[in-house]
Chains A and B, each alone.
Chain A
């Protein structure tokens, strides 16, 4: 008879071309010990687990949940073994395959390390032609540079509970990627009334018009499920760089691309004509409250 312990899904975390950012981001999960307890961790890059990498790279074991972090490079070896072989071996029997981060999902930052051959495990940017194509039904993409710990937490919890994770056409869980990064941003009112920020380092104003913010065009719940439980890029005045999307990293990241002052990209699904009409009218009104400082620190006598 199997003990309860034996029934835990076996989890394996492999790495392609990576910075380890997803590994470290995941360690920030508030309920990490409880979650890890639901799995038998065969290998995790930042922490001792059941097996050494020597054992893992021998490709004699199998796993139930395979997590892959980093861009896929067909020529890469780890411990002298082609990652290509290791990935194929473990993917063949894994019930769930999770791409952790934008590199593993679409190629991301480290597609640029060798752009002609590197890709994600299922997608090469938007094109679905990655090395694990035949396993596509079992692949969940958790894009983000890095992944948000709660996104991985949600996915692994659903898997541990035997619940189905519904995904979008880019294989990202709809619960995590239906929101835009814009949703919940503390600067929303400035966006509505088209009040640009007067530069970086201000609580006030929207970063969409000049500073390059991609939040209204980016599927991510960064402003719904906060980072490190406390904040997000846009809340502290850094533009969203669209790191969950297949075209990350774009260029000229701190500047909004405009054509004759008209933003090249407008909020997702909004026709540009409608956007310009709305924006032009909203700009007409000068809302005094939104033009000044949000907080007046002058003391009253």
Chain B
């Protein structure tokens, strides 16, 4: 049997923790819960993460990098800004569908437990890979004349707030249709709101 690398063990912990945090909640989940789920001793767990807070921060970075990589791949494609918007939304909704624990963690844990992320994860530090890619997206859109020039956060808030809201409604089982069903119209709405006038 092949030896499991340290990196793989670490990723294992991350997926287990994400699942537990989203099922049981961040505060209720304990380190022994996580250790048990990945099948390691609590002592060994501490070799990977010195505390639950550090794990929590690593998770944000992990998700941010995951999102950043996905958006970067879209940014690098030779397609119009309108198509990029559609692709980013598809990717995001897909992730909410297939890896709901990631989005859940981001929306429910990171955004609502700021005290945990104060030291070393404040501001842009842990979300930088994701936000940087969104900056690149907006920058390119304005530079090629597709989007109108405005303040970054006004545009960013419109885009991500909308998606976050939809995922929230989806998570609360309020949406009558699957997320997939809304992609087209949401893309259109976002593009219409941001496009050059």
Contacts and interface: CB of A to CB of B under 8 A. Distances in A.
A283 interface: yes
B128 A277 contact: yes
Contact of A280 (B124, B140, B150, B155): B124
A260 interface: yes
B16 interface: no
Contact of B124 (A258, A260, A262, A283): A283
Nearest to B194: A260
A272 B128 CA distance: 13
| Of listed A261, A272, A283, residue having the most chain B CB within 10 A | A261
A280 B129 CA distance: 10
A281 interface: yes
A280 B151 CA distance: 15
Contacts of A285: 123
A260 B142 contact: yes
B41 interface: no
B116 interface: no
B111 interface: no
Interface in A223-267: 258-262, 264
Interface in A270-287: 272-273, 276-277, 280-281, 283-285
B69 to A, nearest CB: 12
A277 B123 contact: no
B83 interface: no
A281 B124 CA distance: 5
A283 B151 CA distance: 16
Given A260-B149, A260-B151, A280 B128 contact: yes
Contacts of B135: 260, 262, 276, 280
Interface in B118-156: 122-125, 128-129, 131-133, 135-136, 138-143, 147, 149-153, 155
Counting chain A CB atoms within 10 Å of each CB, the highest count among B123, B129, B132, B153 belongs to B132
Contacts of B153: 261
Q: Which residue among B123, B140, B150, B155 has the maximum number of chain A CB atoms within 10 Å of its CB?
A: B123
Contacts of B131: 280
B143 A259 contact: yes
Contacts of B138: 259-260, 262
Nearest to B129: A277
A276 B131 CA distance: 9
B139 A272 contact: yes
Interface string A277-299: 10011011100000000000000
A212 B124 CA distance: 25
Contact of B139 (A259, A281, A283, A284): A259
B129 A260 contact: no
A272 B122 CA distance: 22
B139 A260 contact: yes
A114 to B, nearest CB: 30
A284 B150 CA distance: 21
Interface in B47-74: 72
A273 B149 contact: no
A264 B132 CA distance: 14
B66 to A, nearest CB: 16
B122 A258 contact: no
A176 B122 CA distance: 42
B124 A273 contact: no
Contacts of A258: 149
Contact of B150 (A260, A264, A272): A260
Interface string A174-208: 00000000000000000000000000000000000
A110 B24 CA distance: 71
Contact of A281 (B123, B133, B155): B123
Nearest to B75: A273
A284 B152 CA distance: 16
Contacts of A273: 72, 132-133, 136
B143 A284 contact: no
A48 B142 CA distance: 55
Given A260-B142, A264-B143, A276 B149 contact: no
Q: Which 10 A-B pairs have the closest CB atoms?
A: A284-B123, A259-B142, A280-B124, A261-B152, A260-B138, A262-B139, A260-B152, A259-B139, A276-B132, A277-B132
10 contacts: A258-B149, A259-B143, A260-B139, A262-B152, A264-B139, A273-B72, A283-B124, A284-B123, A284-B125, A285-B123
Given A276-B135, A285-B123, 11 more contacts: A260-B139, A260-B151, A262-B135, A262-B139, A262-B152, A264-B143, A273-B133, A276-B132, A280-B128, A281-B123, A284-B124
